[in-house]
Amino acid sequence: MTAGGFVSSVPVAPAGLSGRARRFVEVDGIRLPGQDVLGRRDVWIRHGIPAAEVERAAAFQNRWGGLVLPPAPFYEGGPRILDADCPEGSTTEGWWFPAGTGRVSMAYGFMIGPEGAFGIDGYQWTPLHASTDGWVESLALAAHARRWAGTVTRVTGKAVDSLDLAGYEPVPEVQGLTDTWWRGKDSLIALYRGEALGLDAPQCLEAHIYGGLDEWGLNGG
């Protein structure tokens, strides 16, 4: 916050991200005013939402709220703005809260699950990454790979299951669950399985292969 109460639109990357993701957030991101989650705390609690779940949504908002990032290469670009909203669920099933509205009309929404995973929720809950950090890391890696790859190949449907990942290692910082990234000798592979599983639509399987990468292209910090 600057003098006069003005909030800069230039975001400061949260602690714990890779250097690549920090640069992505601070160079390509914009920070807008986010929802006042704590201001709604008493109202939500009166409607039966546990205080701990309100605090969880508030922690997300403090870390990510109002952040606008470039579109994701899948899921029709992902959330337009990372922004928490009223949690939903139950004590027996667990609690979820929205992670931000989509850029286009979709058959699912973007949610944060009971264990903190970032995922999609439509016909069923499908966690994509173990945390929002992982989602942001995946966006940063996709942007980096597109910039440095000599070739980009898109594979869809059943052909995705035929990809040979021998010699590849998982990229740990994306914290992949349903969606994963794999690093090889000179290429990166992004596997997008969320829609296929969440919508029971195997034709939605998709992989992006970024080839011709040197050491910097494979890692980028």
Examine the fold and report which residue of 136, 166, 182 is the final residue of a domain before the chain moves on.
136
Quote the DSSP letter at residue 14. P
User: What pTM does this model have?
Assistant: 0.94
111 close to 119: Cβ distance less than 8 angstroms: yes
Specify the residue for token string 């109202």: 43
106 and 177 inside one domain: no
176 and 112 inside one domain: no
pLDDT tier for residue 18 given thresholds of 50, 70 and 90: very high
157 close to 116: Cβ distance less than 8 angstroms: no
Query: How far is CA 182 from each of CA 21, 22, 37, rounded to the nearest angstrom?
Result: 17, 20, 36
Examine the fold and report which residue of 84, 109, 136 is the final residue of a domain before the chain moves on.
136
Quote the DSSP letter at residue 79. B
54 and 162 inside one domain: no
34 and 127 inside one domain: yes
At 34 the pLDDT is: 84
Quote the DSSP letter at residue 26. I
Strand 169-170 with 30-31, pairing? unpaired
16 and 106 inside one domain: yes
Residue 141 resides in a domain? no
How many domains does the chain contain in total? 2
Note the pLDDT tens digit of each residue in 142-158.
999 999 999 999 999 99
160 and 87 inside one domain: no
Give Cβ neighbours of residue 45 (< 8 Å, ≥ 6 apart): 51, 54
Note the pLDDT tens digit of each residue in 164-214.
999 999 999 999 999 999 999 999 999 999 999 999 999 999 999 999 999
For residues 98 and 53, what is the distance between their CA atoms, to the nearest angstrom?
12
Structural domain containing residue 213: 147-219
